[in-house]
Structure 1
Amino acid sequence: MSENKNPLVLVTGGSGFIAVHIILKLLQKGFHVRTTLRTMSRQDEVKAMLKSGGVTNFSGLSFIQTDLSSDKNWGEAVKGAEYVIHVASPTPNKIYKNENEMIQPAREGVLRVLSAARDADVKRVVLTSAFGAIGVGHHNHKGPFTEEDWSNINAKIHPYQKSKTIAEQSAWEFIRKEGNGLELAAVNPVGVMGPILGNDYSHSNDSVRRMLEGKLKYVPKIYSDYVDVRDVADLHILAMLRPEANGERFIASSSENISMLEVANILKKHLGDDAINVPKGELPNILVRMLAIFNPKLRMIASLLGLDMSTSNQKAKRILGWRPRSAEESIAATGKSMLKIMKGQMK
């Protein structure tokens, strides 16, 4: 494909928390963006979120209706695009009957996108993967996870994490066997925090909301790494543009391993009286595991108890010059923007 002054980038799943921030950065940098939606009625919602982020000119933005479970419109979606950033995937909030309800759409979806990109002579696809494809199912792992690690899909892990692992592995296999020169890079975020621009936000953000609302009186003893969504967006664009990113995975993390109780304490520090309802204590692991038997939403949380989920961000720093914000700054930004949503002040 010829080099364009303002190349077109296809971003899948345009209404999502990470995708909106990627679109925001791309538009600010002068790229043309086409984004996919399962429901075209969400166009105004996406524009409203982008407006909250500072975008005032939407002339470089267009929408197309697609679904990961169907071939319809994918050829048209990638037409003329120099790059594809594939963000769309089933989310961990879904109450599932069978794990294949998450795994199959994620795997088939990524293969559908890669096939269409290859056939349209797209230069590079950047896949939004997850920490769930790197550091899950290793109960005796010590020390930070790196991009060399893969989750153990033969262990008893949550279907969302399994879906991310299988989808990414399938993507790399496709590139090796059927890519015909199509380039691929993957970004693997940990818990994503940062400014919320609308009502579509991450699982990690939702935990902050529940803390602020007082719905979480106590928190499980889970230690996680976090990353700001603005830095995740930056890393996707670096992975898209930098030649040395081809064929590589990059963990998106501030590399600070903190507990959920520490997250609550950060909210108290930055939000004052608005954080009066945040948790002040932790639940015993045995109680969380017992509750998870009866509450499907707790099963992924229970599977993470007692695990070392620390990560290294050295590869993205070394190869791409990426410099993420601190976990504290990201969590504070989540809390402040979540309060605006809760108070109905988000414009």
Structure 2
Amino acid sequence: MPPRTALRKYERLESPGLWRETPAAQRREVIVGLREATLILADPRSETPLAQWSLPAIERMNPGQSPAIFSPGSDGIETLEIDDKEMIAALDTVHVVIAKRKPHPGRLRNLILLATVAALASVVVFWLPGRLVGHTAQVLPDPTRADLGQEALADLIRLSGSPCRTVPGRRAAATLAARLFPDAPPQIEVLREGLTHPANLPGNILLLPAKLVQDAKSPEVVAGYLIAEHLRAQGTDPVLPLLAHLGLWSTIRLLTTGMPGAGAMEGYGEVISTAAPPPPLPDEALLPEFAKARVPASPYAYSLDPTGETTLGLIEADPFAHEAGERILGDETWLELQAICTE
């Protein structure tokens, strides 16, 4: 039923019209009466009702043309011609009001579809990448991690040049790795350029700037930086930032095929070389690692801060502060490590 506000100004409106009961019938003059919910067609002489049309069902057959032709429905066989402008305006107004009040399942369906697409897009953009990266990091086998580490190192070498590779120096680095981490010695790479601080890569790769090695006063200093970086790699999986760099589709490809795709690693060297120095590790995490490796913590602490003010906790709790301790490297091996970049 159309709302009363749509008909208030047209209450009891009447006009002449021409009614055709069937397509084959002659047109017949009628009085058209607009009522609250119906249109009454009556004989103009006797005022006898001839037809009654429901207002919500009425359709205009020739929009914009005159005289206006109406039908009691899309499948109705009756027609009504009206030339009275006020009656035409009344019926058009009622039609507009009713159309607005009708349910629009298509519109609702479109809104639901748009909301669903927006929700899926949010999942893909904000939730899926993080979950996918975390899942991929958990299930990657060690050989794949090692391959990723080598690919990342190759992209870094593109910027920094080849790692320092004198034979005695590399032998000394391997000796130091075995001394500090006997269960799983890392691959230690010393780079002339491209690094301002130690870093780590997947596949148990530890990176050191050449300047750090050359300026160190003792092998215990280098050992301290390696212990700290190894601990960082244990605390934050080095494959996570690499997967973040690869992006969603390369990560999916890596997860499904074991390979990220050609060129996927490009640019990761810049990520490593421009990364800000990591925050210092807490003393309570570092000290057990120094004790486990049988390395004094004080040389590393004084390398970080020559005054010892900011690293006092490491110095005072050094597990080997008052012991001669076990030598990290022999003098000759230490000199070979410091000369790893001389070729």
Which TM-score tier does this pair reach, normalised by the shorter chain?
under 0.3
Larger Rg: 2
Could you state the TM-score of these two structures normalised by the residue count of structure 1? 0.22
Could you state the TM-score of these two structures normalised by the residue count of structure 2? 0.22
Higher helix fraction (1 or 2): 2
